[in-house]
Every structure is written in structure tokens, then in C-alpha cells.
């Protein structure tokens, strides 16, 4: 059975998918139903909707992370390579909380995804100036992901999550990208005209 922490993480991801894909008039009701489930009810719901399978197929719907990786769910992308996508967490623990999602549905983390995680961690250290970066692997819906968490005071992966609006996430994204794009311009050395110095001639 799912632990309390796992259940909360799963609920947050389902809610994110609901908000991105459901008709507006059905969103509130669906979120209320998911939020009220205990871990056992949630696991039964996942099994019923075939969301606990180790791999998706044509007969099974994509898990929420496959939908993020395939960009069917709108997200604030921070980095990408051939095997993984890094996006800002919509229910972050801290400012700049990022998840790295492999593009293929798998319970194994590919090498290029590990590399992207390292690159993102270095970028967050440089641009957001946290005390440290914590990294945690987890597997939900049979899909391996990595959480990259900037720590500013004493946050950890059990800390409270807060809902972030798309506008708030976009501002963080802009800040990171703006700073990343800024380059120190090399001083321009103007070429001085060359004068040939000749001694002054006296008659």
C-alpha cells in the first residue's frame, strides 16, 4: 500500500493532470474526490484506472509523467535533452523546486537524465543561491523521476507543499533564463589609427 507521503505526491500529480486536461466545469468536483481519498482508496483508484502498470501501452493511458514528457500537459520547462525533461514543480516545496522526468516510461533512470539533473542543480545553485540542493529519486505510476530541491532554510522532502500558479512559475523561469542568458561582454578594444612618428625637421 502507498505510504501517506507517496499518496500525497500521487494526489498532487493527479490534480495537476486534472487541471490541465479536464473541462472547467468538472475540475473542482474531480479535485475534491481525489483529495478526500485515503491511501487505500487512492491505490484502488489507480488500479481501476490502470495507472499502476509498470509500462504504458496502446491499451493503457499515459501516466501523468509521460504526459509531461510528451508535452501534452503544459509545464514550465527549465531544461531538456534527448532522454529527459526538467520542469518546475507545480506544487513546490521551495522556490525553484524542479522535477526531472525521463521521456520514456521506465523504472530506470537513463544516463542523460542523470546528466540533466546535474546541470539543473548547478544552474539552481548559481542563479537562485540556495544553501544547498537536495536530490531525491522516486517512482510513481511505474515512472522514475528525480526531485531537485533548493534548500533556503531547513526544507526537506517531507516539508509542506504549496500550490503555485502558472504565472508564479513563469516568473521563476524567466528569472533563471534571464540570468542564464546574461553574458559578460568582452571589452571592445578600438583599433587606433597608426601614425608614423617622424622627428621634426628644422631647416
Domains of the chain and CATH, by start: 4-177 (3.30.428.10)
Q: Quote the pLDDT of residue 18.
A: 74
Beta bridge partners of 133: 150
Q: Quote the pLDDT of residue 180.
A: 46
- State the Cα–Cα distance between residues 105 and 114, nearest whole angstrom: 15
3-state class of 26 per DSSP?
A: helix
Q: Quote the pLDDT of residue 58.
A: 41
Q: Is the pLDDT of residue 139 over 90?
A: no
C-alpha distances in Å from residue 117, one per residue of 87, 96, 98, 112: 11, 13, 9, 9
Q: Is the pLDDT of residue 125 over 80?
A: yes
CB 28 within 8 A of CB 108: no
For the stretch 28-55, pLDDT in tens is 888 888 888 887 887 777 766 555 444 3
Query: For the whole model, what pTM was predicted?
Result: 0.62
Per-residue pLDDT band at 1 (split at 50, 70, 90): low
C-alpha distances in Å from residue 11, one per residue of 33, 80, 100, 144: 10, 25, 18, 17
Q: Which of 1-10, 98-107, 150-159, 178-187 has the lowest mean pLDDT?
A: 178-187
CB 91 within 8 A of CB 161: yes
* Rg of the chain on CA atoms, in Å: 24
Amino acid at each position: 500500500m502507498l505510504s501517506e507521503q507517496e499518496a500525497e505526491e500521487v494526489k498532487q500529480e493527479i490534480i495537476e493532470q486534472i487541471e490541465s486536461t479536464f473541462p472547467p466545469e468538472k475540475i473542482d468536483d474531480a479535485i475534491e474526490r481525489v483529495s478526500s481519498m485515503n491511501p487505500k482508496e487512492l491505490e484502488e483508484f489507480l488500479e481501476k484506472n490502470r495507472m499502476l502498470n509498470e509500462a504504458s501501452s496502446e491499451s493503457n493511458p499515459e501516466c501523468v509523467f509521460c504526459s509531461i514528457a510528451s508535452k501534452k500537459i503544459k509545464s514550465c520547462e527549465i531544461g531538456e535533452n534527448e532522454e529527459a525533461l526538467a520542469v518546475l514543480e507545480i506544487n513546490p516545496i521551495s522556490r525553484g523546486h524542479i522535477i526531472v522526468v525521463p521521456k520514456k516510461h521506465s523504472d530506470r533512470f537513463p544516463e542523460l537524465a542523470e546528466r540533466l539533473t546535474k546541470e539543473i542543480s548547478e544552474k539552481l545553485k548559481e542563479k537562485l543561491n540556495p544553501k544547498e540542493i537536495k536530490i531525491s529519486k522516486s517512482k510513481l505510476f511505474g515512472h522514475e523521476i528525480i526531485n531537485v530541491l533548493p534548500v533556503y532554510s531547513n526544507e526537506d522532502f517531507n516539508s509542506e507543499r504549496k500550490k503555485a500558479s502558472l504565472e508564479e512559475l513563469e516568473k521563476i523561469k524567466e528569472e533563471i533564463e534571464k540570468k542564464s542568458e546574461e553574458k559578460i561582454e568582452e571589452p571592445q578594444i578600438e583599433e587606433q589609427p597608426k601614425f608614423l612618428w617622424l622627428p621634426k625637421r628644422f631647416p
